[in-house]
Amino acid sequence: MLKCKNLVFLAAFIFIGITISCNQSKKEKPEQAPLTGIEIRFGFIASDQLHSPAVMIMKERKLLEAAGFTVKWTEYQAGAFAMQDMIDGKIDFVCCGVVPIMTTHAQSMKLAVIAGANQEGASLVVDNSINTIMDLNNKRIATPGAGSIQDALLAHVAADNNIRIRHVSMNVAEMPTFLQKGEVNGFIAWAPHPAGAVEQKLGRELLNSHDIMAGHQCCVLAVTENFMQNDPATVEKLLEVYNEAYKWFKANQDESIKMVARVTGKSEDVIRKAIVTVNYQYPPYCDAANMRSMAQTLIDIGRITSVKTEGLDSFIKSLYNPDLLEKITR
């Protein structure tokens, strides 16, 4: 009888001990692990602050670091170079033109676009030999490269007018100098470079991207699909910071213009003239319908070959994921 009582006592003791231990574990375990010291690798385009203002603000004001991230920033001359590093696993997030992202998603690596950065914002600056669109026939026009949205816009102009334009790829910062030397007849680039060239009287604006494709989606924020699937909490947190930076930009235009001028080395007057050519939608959703139209253009000119017109809706749906942005701005 005594033995049975001892066994009952022992069992009760063990049960109480386990219960206390479990309750203690529950108390000690936080509901969600703190987001501190998480390293992210973020790519952005050089001198593209007017097209990606939230990225500039995050970087200059160290907003990601304040949110607990350790950030490795990498600057690129064009989106195509950033895409190659994404394919090679060297960066996780990028803010660049939607065209290189679409072509990469179609042909090389699955990406997820989670927010927009801007719409429109590119201009075609030409020399005195060009007065009309038809004068562009057989002329040498500089673009940031075959993977850029500016190159695609120029191809769209040629296709719409049944003319041939000779594309010359080069660094955007060098375009005004090449135009001044007469080595090209014009260039198409993102703001504020065209406004700067016009101010220096190196050429005049023939077209801007509103004239070519009104409201077109330009730069976007994207992440690799693997990162999105494996660490959605980090993606959501980064997007929260990005969204707050975008909101700050919209609410503090004068201070933002001063920041762009300081970072790019352009005058405030040039920045103020250039900024009117760029559209900023808040919340920063992408224009999915326009992304579809741009993808169709890329198919038509042979830049995307793995997607057919009948599959465009599925293609855009697989690329653009607005759910997280909707969640944090709801």
pLDDT in tens, 122-148: 999 999 999 999 999 999 999 999 889
pLDDT at 273: 93
In this prediction, residue 38 carries a pLDDT of 87
**Three-state DSSP class for 179?**
helix
Q: What is the pLDDT of residue 48?
A: 83
**Same domain flag for 113 and 149:** no
Phi, psi of 107 (to 5 degrees): -120, -25
Examine the pLDDT at 296 and tell me if it is beyond 70: yes
Look up the domain containing 275 and give its range: 38-120+216-329
Strand positions, DSSP E, the chain: 38-45, 69-76, 93-97, 111-116, 119-120, 122-126, 140-143, 166-169, 186-190, 204-208, 219-224, 278-279
| Same domain for 304 and 162 | no
Pick the closest to residue 171 from 155, 193, 153, 154 (CA basis): 193
Q: Please tell me the distance from the alpha carbon of residue 187 to that of residue 143, in angstroms, as a whole number.
A: 6
The single residue listed with the structure tokens 């949205």 is 149
Residues 157, 305, single domain; the answer is no
SS3 9: helix
Residues 180 and 316 grouped into a single domain:
no
Specify whether 243 is located in the same domain as 186: no
257 and 165 fall within a common domain? no
CA atoms lying within 13 Å on the CB side of residue 186 = 28
Across 290-297, average pLDDT: 93
Is residue 4 in some structural domain? no
Q: What's the pLDDT score for residue 160? A: 93
Record the tokens describing residue 169, joined without a space. Answer: 């790829």
For residue 37, what pLDDT is reported?
65
Q: Is the pLDDT of residue 322 over 60?
A: yes
What pLDDT is attached to residue 1?
A: 42
The pLDDT value recorded for residue 203 is 96
Structural domain contains residue 179: yes
User: Which tens digits make up the pLDDT trace of 82-111?
Assistant: 999 999 999 999 999 999 999 999 998 999
Distance between CA atoms of 78 and 152, rounded to whole angstroms?
A: 14
Same domain? For 322 and 278 the reply is yes
Per the domain annotation, does 33 fall within a domain?
A: no
Q: In what order do the strands lie in the sheet with 69-76?
A: 69-76, 38-45, 93-97, 219-224, 111-116
- Give me the number of domains the chain comprises: 2
Q: Is residue 257 domain-shared with residue 319, that is, in the same domain?
A: yes
Who wins on pLDDT, 176 or 25? Answer: 176
SS3 assignment, position 229? helix
Percent of the chain with pLDDT over 70: 89
- Is the residue at 23 inside a domain? no
Say yes or no: 127 and 97 in one domain. no
Residue 17 counted as domain residue: no
114 token code pair? 């989670």
CB 151 within 8 A of CB 98: no
State whether 115 and 223 are in the same domain.
Answer: yes
Is residue 290 one of the residues assigned to a domain?
Answer: yes
Q: Which of 212, 246, 275 is the last residue of a domain?
A: 212
- pLDDT by residue (tens digit) across 195-224? 999 999 999 999 999 999 999 999 999 999
Whether residues 299 and 150 fall in one domain: no
Res. 23: pLDDT tops 50: no
Which of 212, 231, 263 delimits the end of a domain? 212
Residues sharing a CB contact under 8 Å with residue 187, sequence separation 6 or more, in sequence order: 124, 125, 141, 142, 143, 170, 175, 176, 178, 179, 193, 194, 197
User: Cα separation of 184 and 166, whole Å?
Assistant: 10
- As a whole number, the mean pLDDT across the chain is 89
For residue 184, being part of any structural domain is answered with: yes
Tell me, yes or no, whether 228 and 318 share the same domain.
yes
Q: Which of 180, 212, 244 is the last residue of a domain?
A: 212
Q: CA-CA distance, 274 to 278, in Å (whole number)?
A: 7
Q: Would 109 be classed as within a structural domain?
A: yes
pTM (predicted TM-score): 0.85
Q: What is residue 47's predicted lDDT score, i.e. its pLDDT?
A: 81
CATH code, 157: 3.40.190.10
